[in-house]
Chain A
Amino acid sequence: MLFVPGNNPGMIRDAHIYGSDSIMFDLEDSVAITEKDAARFLVYNALTKLHYGKKELVVRINDLSSGLGIADLEAIVRAQPDVIRLPKTDSAKDVIECEREIERIEREAGIPVGKTGMMAAIESANGVLNAKEIAFASKRLIGIALGAEDYVTDLKTTRSPEGIELMFARGMIVNAAKAAGIMALDTVYSDVNNEEGFVAEATMIRKMGFDGKSVINPRQIAPLHAVFTPSEKDLTKARAIMDAIAEANARGSGVASLKGKMIDKPVVARAQYLLEMAERAKTITVEEI
């Protein structure tokens, strides 16, 4: 997910060319308080007039307590991005309140109720503890995300290259998301010139079970995809597993085996997931750019 500052026309225009799976237009932290209205017009017009192909479009609004969130929703829900990202989510109540506003605007605008997806960013110690309730708070939620900058401030610490300070939050968030059957998204890596550190962190969070990561610079997209793309060795194995299953099914047998070992259900699920991921990562077509 590529972060794009909501008041930067050049970046908004080019956001789709870099091969990210989704684009997040930001009305929150990257926009100066005096430019909130201007950014809202810009993102609204971009969503309604520019072509972003098959990209998943996300807009990060200001939180409702800031007094700007509702105004953001009035504009953005009508522009119909795929997902609205709610920042600074501390509890299930924040999600429910936001959902209520979205639903009201959907009704007013004649948009099918429930069409607008949601994503909640957890950015405080309290929010991390409430991760499970947040993850289960709305059917609209497609995922929850960690917002590390505010979170470490809340913990009264700072971010380290190893990310030891985020261990608990990451574990909690990924676990809550998986329990609710939604995606877990990791936070940004702000040192854009340190590709090695970025790859190390991406490798770790993939291993932890995260489904993706936010990036602040297009240069981070290719290395991130490289981390999340399954290796040829794993794919060969996955294909062999799926072949064995297909063969067993053809025989009418419920039990499949590979190289003399029985294939368990979770093994099949993992193989399937791997192949799906590989399919998604395969080729960039011009239509997608």
Chain B
Amino acid sequence: MDIKKTGVAGTMESSDIIVRIEPKETEGIELELESAVMQQYGKQIERVIRETLGELGVTRAYVNAVDKGALDCTVAARTSAAAYRAAESSDYVWKEVRI
């Protein structure tokens, strides 16, 4: 998935995270994270963002995220929404199935 423009998703509400994804020319994801729970969950949030982008095939992007205590599923949802917006794509892939 190619990042074509700036895509933002999420809010500044408690339990949410705002994720901003911007185009980057070189390979790699450059991530900047600010979180109210940095000490306890900073690494975990970063892992979820990177994994989500990996699943979407995003390999080049600047990512800026401001977290207000979002759960992993919210981090993933906001990252996906921002990525699709930034890629100007609506070819959503819904793979997981609830067991």
Known: A38-B10, A42-B77. A111 touches B92 (CB 8 A): no
Known: A8-B13, A71-B90. A41 touches B80 (CB 8 A): yes
Q: Mark A47-77, 1 if CB is under 8 A from B, else 0.
A: 1111000000000000000000001001100
Interface of B is mostly: loop
A200 CB within 8 Å of chain B: no
Bound Cα distance A144, B72 (Å): 35
Q: Could you say which residues of chain B place their CB within 8 Å of the CB of A110?
A: 97
Query: A10, A47, A71, A74: which contacts B98 (Cβ < 8 A)?
Result: A47
B45 CB within 8 Å of chain A: no
Query: A13, A38, A79, A80: which contacts B81 (Cβ < 8 A)?
Result: A38
Residues of B within 8 A of A (CB): 9-11, 13-16, 70-74, 76-78, 80-81, 84-85, 90, 92, 94-98
Interface size for A (C-beta < 8 A) is 25
Q: Could you say which residues of chain B place their CB within 8 Å of the CB of A150?
A: none
B74 touches A42 (CB 8 A): yes
B73 touches A10 (CB 8 A): no
Bound Cα distance A272, B57 (Å): 57
Residues of A within 8 A of B (CB): 7-10, 13, 37-38, 41-42, 44-50, 71, 74-75, 78-80, 109-111
Known: A37-B84, A45-B77. A80 touches B98 (CB 8 A): yes
Name the CB-closest residue of A to B84: A37
B98 touches A79 (CB 8 A): yes
Bound Cα distance A80, B90 (Å): 21
Name the CB-closest residue of B to A46: B73
A9 touches B80 (CB 8 A): no
Q: Could you say which residues of chain B place their CB within 8 Å of the CB of A71?
A: 90, 92
Known: A10-B13, A13-B15. A41 touches B78 (CB 8 A): yes
